[in-house]
Amino acid sequence: MLPDRFQAVSPLAYDEGMPPEESLPMTSPAQLSNRLRALLMRIYPDRDTDQLTTEVIEAFWPDAHAARKRARKPGNTLWSQKDALLITYGDSLIDGVYKPLDLLRDFLSSHMPGVVNGVHILPFFPFTSDDGFAVTDYRKVNPTLGDWPDISRIGGEWHLMSDLVLNHVSSQGTWFNAYRQGQPPYDKFFYEASPDDDLSMVVRPRITPLLQEVETAMGTRHVWCTFSHDQVDLDFRNPEVLLEIIRIIRLHVDAGVKIIRLDAVAFVWKEPGTPSIHLPKTHAIVQLLRVLADFAAEPIVLLTETNVPKAENLSYFGQLNEAHWIYNFPLPPLILHAMLSGDAKALSNWQRAMPPAPHGCAYLNFSASHDGIGMRPAEGLLPDEEIARMIQTVQETGGLASMRALPGGGTAVYELNTTFFSAMQRTYKGDDGQQVDRFVCSQTIVMSLEGIPAFYIHAMLATPNDLDGVARRGMNRAINRHRWNYPELREKLADPGSDQARVLAAMSDRLRLRSKQAAFHPNATNFTLAVDDRVFAVWRQALDRSQSIFALHNVSAETVDLPPRALNLIADEHWVDLLSGETLHPEEDGVTLAPYQCRWITNRA
């Protein structure tokens, strides 16, 4: 069970439904050791595995910490329909007086109770670039945001997710400075390669040179930089790197973190002559972290961040032995396409072919993130001409595009940089004045699908593109990383006619309603319906089959009339649209959807 201080908020039901510990086979410390030993032997076959196993256990369970006697079993009771997350930077809200983390906590307590029960605070460490993802010191909180007690207070009131930036650190950070000076153990912490190595197959999300030449106490070295020259890749071939990352996870957990986001995890193991993404030892490292999470006394959920095509992304579920959650990365570009084109066919076709999450796993659904809208997951799901049309339409609203290098030369769009609200300003046909309705429809799709919904704060707040921020900071991603002046935001939220108040009210109402529906459990049945190309429709059914919800979303600016018996309704049931409160007789009258209208039609209101 969670500690008492977490009971006031609807908890992730980590241990609900689990039989008493004494009724299950006990797992001895030897079994934990054996699991770790087998994985360490795969990762470091030339090392003393017994010694490494002891060091891993001591790194994760120091001092008075103790492992569980048995590992948590995979199960669908680890989360419920009550779970939803807000994604935010620690300084998305500022006023020049109070600590940003205090302002965030005030916003959460004022506007989010019953709406979300978790918060993902993007990297809150000291950094030099990429808004936190070039960490200089993993053991400190960025003093411009607050300090560890501020993090722990939020973690005591909400299910807190933090970023484990485990692939790279800042080129100006404490670890890399020690590396350049030849100080052990950091002199072997960073991945070195030669310009003569075969690096032609390496998959990367950037177009900057992969290797950076640096002068060190050991002489000239070329260090591997997957993302930028200010983000130098760690060398997990050295087990000391893994041990230090494990100690940092323990620091997060002790501070109240429940969900660990494994940032850029797909790239952590690299080898010249290979794509250096999704390598077997990368998966083995994730499996090792899962063993630690399963044996931890504290409830820990692992989320992998792998913005890649479908099959590669799904691989991080493993055999129920890797991530608990994975991002549903194809969702943002496919929702964007549906809303811009007024055609849900591609979105429906993709969802129809998506497997349900394995037992004990869940998808994390979202449309908007701090990075923009990734386009790689759309590969193979949308024709090139449709992708080009989407890019053009978003650019017409002031959006931008970031590029990536292709193996063998050339570039392609890696992501669209825009707020999702601004992207909804127009469709392929132009600006029609229906931005708010279109946007709320897009976010309702996120709420309706199998999985756990997550919402970037700038989606919740209908934030427009911050083009001044792009000009001031000189990077495309600043367009979607606005810092709201908190008093100004509060004024807008107090004005019921503002975009911010309208969107936050609509999304809050729907999320509160969603949290009460058993059919919206993250692992409840999700069946895609073929009703009309303008309507994205799914049937959700509760795990115990007590409730059905037909979630219908008109992605077009046209009124859509669905004929009687378009839905597979249970006979003699009483059907109500949860969103409008209407009693419906769809088996007799059919269902009408106004432009961008959504309906949650259920037999148990």
Confidence of residue 26 (pLDDT cuts 50, 70, 90): very low
Query: What token pair was written down for 505?
Result: 């009210």
Closest residue by Cα to residue 285 from 329, 228, 241, 227? 241
For residue 38, pLDDT over 70 is answered with: yes
CB 339 within 8 A of CB 431: no
pLDDT in tens, 481-492: 999 999 999 999
Confidence of residue 24 (pLDDT cuts 50, 70, 90): very low
- In 38-167 the beta strands, taken as DSSP E runs, fall at 85-88, 93-94, 118-121, 159-165
Report phi then psi at 375, rounded to 5.
Answer: -100, -15
Mean pLDDT of 94-102: 97
Task: Give me the sign of the Cα torsion angle 482, 485, 489, 490.
Answer: positive
538, containing H or E segment: strand 535-541
The CATH number of domain 85-125+140-162+248-259+278-518 is 3.20.20.80: yes
CB 71 within 8 A of CB 118: no
Q: How many angstroms separate the CA atoms of 165 and 261, rounded?
A: 8
C-alpha angle 421-422-426 in degrees, rounded to nearest 5:
105
pLDDT for res 139: 96
Q: Which residue has the tokens 């079993």?
A: 73
Confidence of residue 573 (pLDDT cuts 50, 70, 90): confident
Q: How many angstroms separate the CA atoms of 245 and 138, rounded?
A: 9
- The CATH class of 525-602 is mainly beta
Query: What token pair was written down for 423?
Result: 């992207």
pLDDT for res 2: 27
pLDDT in tens, 306-358: 988 888 999 999 999 999 999 999 999 999 999 999 999 999 999 999 999 99
Closest residue by Cα to residue 70 from 21, 35, 143? 21
Query: What token pair was written down for 439?
Result: 């946007």
Q: Name, in order, each residue with C-beta under 8 angstroms of 548's C-beta and a sequence gap of 6 or more.
A: 519, 539, 540, 541, 542, 570, 602, 603, 604
- The answer on whether 589 is annotated among ligand-binding residues is no
Residue ranges per domain, the chain? 28-60, 85-125+140-162+248-259+278-518, 174-232, 525-602
Closest residue by Cα to residue 287 from 246, 316, 314, 254? 316
pLDDT for res 116: 98
- The answer on whether 263 is annotated among ligand-binding residues is yes
pLDDT in tens, 61-82: 998 788 998 899 888 878 999 9
- The answer on whether 163 is annotated among ligand-binding residues is no
pLDDT for res 1: 28
pLDDT in tens, 399-444: 999 888 777 778 888 899 999 999 999 999 999 999 999 999 999 9
Q: Name, in order, each residue with C-beta under 8 angstroms of 398's C-beta and a sequence gap of 6 or more.
A: 418, 422, 465, 467, 479
CB 261 within 8 A of CB 120: yes
- The answer on whether 261 is annotated among ligand-binding residues is yes
Residue 525 three-state SS: strand
- The answer on whether 371 is annotated among ligand-binding residues is yes
Helices (H) and strands (E) in the chain, counts: 18, 25
User: Using H for helix, E for strand and C for coil, what is the string for 317-360?
Assistant: HCCCCCCCEEECCCHHHHHHHHHHHCCCHHHHHHHHHCCCCCCC
CB 59 within 8 A of CB 52: no
Closest residue by Cα to residue 351 from 340, 365, 371, 361? 365
Confidence of residue 4 (pLDDT cuts 50, 70, 90): very low
Provide the annotated active-site residues. Answer: 263
Query: Percent of the chain having pLDDT more than 90?
Result: 83
- The answer on whether 63 is annotated among ligand-binding residues is no
pLDDT in tens, 214-251: 999 999 999 999 999 999 999 999 999 999 999 999 99
pLDDT for res 569: 77
pLDDT in tens, 444-492: 999 999 999 999 999 999 999 999 999 999 999 999 999 999 999 999 9
CB 599 within 8 A of CB 591: yes
Closest residue by Cα to residue 512 from 5, 2, 10, 7? 10
pLDDT in tens, 490-499: 999 999 999 9
